[in-house]
Every structure is written in structure tokens, then in C-alpha cells.
Amino acid sequence: MKILSVPTTPFAGQRPGTSGLRKKVTVFQQPNYLENFVQALFDVLPDKAGQTLVLGGDGRFHNRVAVQTILRMAAANGFGKVLVGRGALMSTPAVSAVIRKHGAYGGIVLSASHNPGGPDGDFGIKYNIGNGGPAPEAVTEAIYARTGTLSAYLTLEGAPEVDLETPGAGTLGGMQVEVIDSVLDYAELMQSLFDFDAMRAWFARGHRMRFDAMCAAAGPYAHAVLEGLLGAPAGTVVNGVPLEDFGGHHPDPNPAHATELIAAMEAADAPDFGAASDGDADRNMILGRRFVVTPSDSLAVMAAHATRVPGYRAGLAGIARSMPTSCAADAVAKALGVPCFETPTGWKFFGNLLDAGKVTLCGEESYGTGSTHVREKDGLWAVLYWLNLLAVTGESVEQLVRSHWARFGRHYYSRHDWEGVPVERADALMAALREQLPALAGRTLAPGLVLSQADDFAYTDPVDGSVSARQGVRLIFEGGSRIVLRLSGTGTEGATLRVYLERYEADPARHDLPAQDALADLIRVADEVARIRELSGLERPAVIT
């Protein structure tokens, strides 16, 4: 097969966001659009000749077409081998696990995570480096710079499509292609971390759970581990077959979108434990009977009980959380005598801390939790962690969380997403807010809400010294309450303004307020200070979690 150089012209706007390049499917279907981005990626990767690349995606529409395109381009660009997921499917945490287990050069993940799928939905692509984690900003900026100067891309002329359904090795041009079942590697890793005997016994005692895979990538992994290795009853995993449109679901594991699971956990015959994952299986939602656990509380509870889990029995080196995530994990870190690092949003910021051995657990408020076992957040891993805790403590989800609040206090928490804000309006809103910051500190913005700090968060990486500025506006009040405002980089239409609200309550007698009631003063202050309704042109947030 002949290597073909195909002339092309640059596309504007191919800058990767916090989790790669995400656009509508129709954008990626434009001739040369995907090819340009992939060639730009390959052009900035040093010493790639003969190296091994991992490739897979979450199974959404256009995934299979994109995988065949990338295989031809990888062969033309000199890679020696590609490990590709069976059926073109590989969850994001599994990509990380496979890179690390096989010592691969890096990997390409085809996913738009929790965004909708289907022909009218979203598509995405991101690159993971040799540690298994998302490419750092230096790499993504180099890719973006190259997309603006590209004049041709390389592919194989007349190359046949690779059979992606049958595991095994073949060749494409001079490159080896091995179709793998990544479920096997992932399940092996999970067995090295958790007490499978205790979890089997939990199910054997008659306990029940419901795992909603949301017709997305987590399904095959959950079927294999929960219903296979752990002996959970058939039907424990629902929506477990990955579909190109996620069955019409919005594959985002939060109370706004996982409504089927919420209803099942509120029913009279609700199972003991409920959980869900997202499109590419890297996020998780944890529920008990009529009880929803916030992601911030989930990270804190996991950290507080780490030594009960075999893979973490030696204790934690430290904890990391994204800046908008609540300070619940900070309280645990203080009690354990370990550091808690506050990073910008984006899993790539945890990679240096994990590689340097500074942290063991990390998490984000957007339903992502992870550890040293991979360099991505990992939905099913977090679910197994909680299942391990239920099995060894004999407590329910609600009991574990309430005991945690009694010891550390409750961090009431919510996120309000103002979606589809015109970009120019969103930018103007944030600019106006930043202009106010010097005059805000020390002001009383509502009864009991005295502002002690107002800043635009900047992060200096303690490992490599790199600086990330303008990562979100923080309004921090005396007593621990916080408001954080930032623009999200994961949407595909307009801008999403995210408003994060946190209030600390030490008194156990006040731990049962509805979250939106407990945060009402902060919600009002956020709107007044940032003039959200006025400047966004919207009347209310699209999603409240």
C-alpha cells in the first residue's frame, strides 16, 4: 500500500479544550476535518516511528469511521503498532490502563464524554501521553499551532478496512494492528485493587445494586465485573449495551439526566446501592436508597476510608481536588495529616501530582474520581470502591455519608450551569466580574456573608513549576462558604457559565436542609455580583446539580 500525501487547508478553531477537541458530528464529518487534527497531532509527536499507539472510543456515532481513518493515518505516519479496542470501543480509563500496562507511546481517545451522541450529537478526540493521562497544555497548544499551518496529511492509498470485531493481530501497510478486548486488562487491574471476596459475599447475602451504564462505554466492563466476576444478579447492570446515540439518553450521570436511576432508588423496593457512569465511563454517580451523594462528598468519604480498601491499605500520600470542588476533602486531608492540592479544572493537572507520588486520590465536582491506578478519572473504579466500603463496613451509603458529616461537618454544594450563553456575552460577563475583584474583599454581601477573599485562581504546578492563570473567579467568605464562576471548555455550542456554590455547616442539627435552600443566599449573591441574568440574557440555569 502506497503512502499518500493529501493536500488540505487549515480549519479555524481546532484548539483542544480541557478534554480535547469537541464539536458537532457534522463538523467532524467535513472532508479533511478529522484528518487535519490527527495529522497536526502526529506532526508534533517526537520519535514516534515504530512506537505503539492505543486507540479506542466510547462507541458514539462516527466512532467506527474515525477509527478506520486514524488507523490508515497512523500507518502512513510510521507507527509500528496500534492496539485498538474491539468494536472500536474502549473506555477512557481503559485506554489509560492499556497504555500503562503495555508501555505504549500514547493513545487516542474518541469521545465527547457526557455530551449527547447520534448523528446530530457531539464528537470528540483527545490525545493521552505515555503515562496514560491527557496531554499537557504544552502538547495541546503545539497541536493547535500546527493545525493553522497544515498543508497536507498522510494516509494509506487503497487500504482495506480493518476487521474490528475479531480480537487478534494483523497488519496495515507496514504497521501491526492488534484488536484487543480491553475489558480483560481492566478487570485484571480492578482485581488487584479491591476485595472481590468481600463484594461477592455482599451480593450473596442478598444485597442488591443497580448500575446504569446509560447505553454507553461502561456497559461491557460493568457486565464483566459486576455480573461476571462478582456474581451480581442478572439485571444489575441496566442500559448496558453501548449504542451510537446512547439510546437517546444524555449520558451524564447526575440527578438532572440519570432520572431512571433516581426513580429506581426512590422506589419502595429500591436496591441497596445505585450508581451510574457516563458516555466514556470515566464519571460516576453514587446513590443510596432515597439518598444522593455529591461528588465532593464522595471523594471525601473515599479518602477517609481508604485503608479499608486493599489497594490503598498503606494510606494516602495526599489528595487533590479541582478548585471548584468543595473543601470536604481538605478536612479529611487535615485529619489524616496529608496535603490536599487545589488544581485547575482538567484531569491533566492531576497527572504530575500522581506521577510524582504526591497524591493517591483525586477528584472533581463534575462526577470524576480517580487514583494512582490510571491517569484518568474512572467511573466503574469509583463504584467498586464504594461497593468495597459497603461490603467491609456493613453500613449503607447513607450511613457512611452521615457518619462523615457528623465527624467533619457538611459541605452543602451545588453547581448551576447556564448553557448556551452567546460567547461574546459570556466573555463580557467574566470580564466585568474580574474588574470588580479588587474592590470586593472585605465587603458584606448578605447577612452573615463577609467576603474574605476575591481572586482569579492561578495555579503553580508544584512538580514542574508551570503556571496556569485565569482559571476561575473565587469569592471566599468567612466561615468557609464559597462561590466560584468559570466558563466551561467541554461544550460544543455557545459558552457554558458554571456557578459553583458551597456552604459549610458544622452543626449536625442542620445537616438535613434541602441543598438549594441552604445555598439560597449564595445563589442570590452570585447573580447580583456577576449580573448573570442581565449579562447572559438567560432567566435561569439549564442544569442544577
Q: Is the pLDDT of residue 488 over 90?
A: no
Range of the domain at 311: 186-408
**How high is the pLDDT of residue 492?**
56
Quick one: angle between helices 379-393 and 196-204, nearest 10? 70
Domain count of the fold of the chain: 3
Kindly report the number of other CB atoms within 10 A of residue 317's CB atom.
Answer: 16
Q: Is the pLDDT of residue 490 over 80?
A: no
Q: Position of cell 472510543?
A: 57
Backbone CA torsion sign across 241, 243, 246, 252: positive
314 and 226 in a single domain? The answer is yes
**Are 171 and 195 in the same domain?**
no
Cell 460577563, residue? Answer: 429
> For position 256, what pLDDT does the model report?
86
- Do 109 and 128 form a contact (C-beta atoms < 8 A)? yes
Predicted confidence at residue 114, as pLDDT, reads 87
Span 304-332, pLDDT tens digits: 999 999 999 999 999 999 999 999 999 99
* Domain stop point among 166, 181, 196: 181
Cell of 541: 440555569
Instruction: Give residue 489's pLDDT band: very low, low, confident or very high (50, 70, 90).
Output: low
Pair type for strands 209-212 and 273-277:
parallel
50 lies in the same domain as 163: yes
Query: In 194-232, where does DSSP find H-type helix?
Result: 196-204, 218-222
Q: Are residues 16 and 153 in the same domain?
A: yes
* Residue 491 pLDDT level (bands cut at 50, 70, 90): low
Residues 34 and 121 in one domain: yes
Q: What is the CATH number of the domain that holds 139?
A: 3.40.120.10
**Same domain? 373 vs 247:** yes
Query: What is the bridge-based pairing of β-strands 444-446 and 449-456?
Result: antiparallel
Buried b (16+ CB within 10 A) or exposed e, 185-214: bbbebbeebbbbebbeebbeeebbbbbbbb
Tell me the average pLDDT across 87-95: 97
Flag whether pLDDT at 431 surpasses 90. yes
pLDDT band of residue 1 (cuts 50, 70, 90) is confident
pLDDT in tens, 12-23: 999 998 779 999
Q: What is the pLDDT of residues 197-245, one digit of tens each?
A: 999 999 999 999 999 999 999 999 999 999 999 999 999 999 999 999 9
Would you please indicate which residues are annotated as catalytic (active-site) residues?
113
- On the 0-12 / 13-18 / 19+ scale of CB atoms within 10 A, 15 is middle
Q: Average per-residue pLDDT in the chain?
A: 96
- Based on the domain organization, do 418 and 487 belong to the same domain? yes
Is 486 found in the same domain as 377? no
**Domain end marker among 358, 391, 408:** 408
Same domain, 401 and 426: no
Residue 499 pLDDT greater than 60, yes or no: yes
Identify the CATH number of the domain in which residue 520 sits: 3.30.310.50
Domain match, 267 and 380 both:
yes
Distance between CA 89 and CA 83 in Å, rounded? Answer: 11
Share of the chain above pLDDT 90, in %: 94
Asked if residue 337 and residue 191 are part of one domain, the reply reads: yes
Model pLDDT for residues 98-118, shown as the tens digit of each residue? 999 999 999 999 999 889 999
pLDDT of 497: 96
Question: Among 392, 408, 424, which residue terminates a domain?
Answer: 408
DSSP 316-373: -S-EEEETTS-THHHHHHHHHT--EEEE-SSTHHHHHHHHTTS-SEEEETTTEEEETT
139-187: per-residue pLDDT in tens?
999 999 999 999 999 999 999 999 999 999 999 999 999 999 999 999 9
- On the question of pLDDT at 372 being above 70, the answer is yes
Helices (H) and strands (E) in the chain, counts: 18, 27
Residue 471 has pLDDT above 60, yes or no: yes
**346 has pLDDT over 90:** no
When pLDDT is cut at 50, 70 and 90, the band that residue 371 belongs to is very high
Q: Is there a single domain that holds both residue 167 and residue 199? A: no
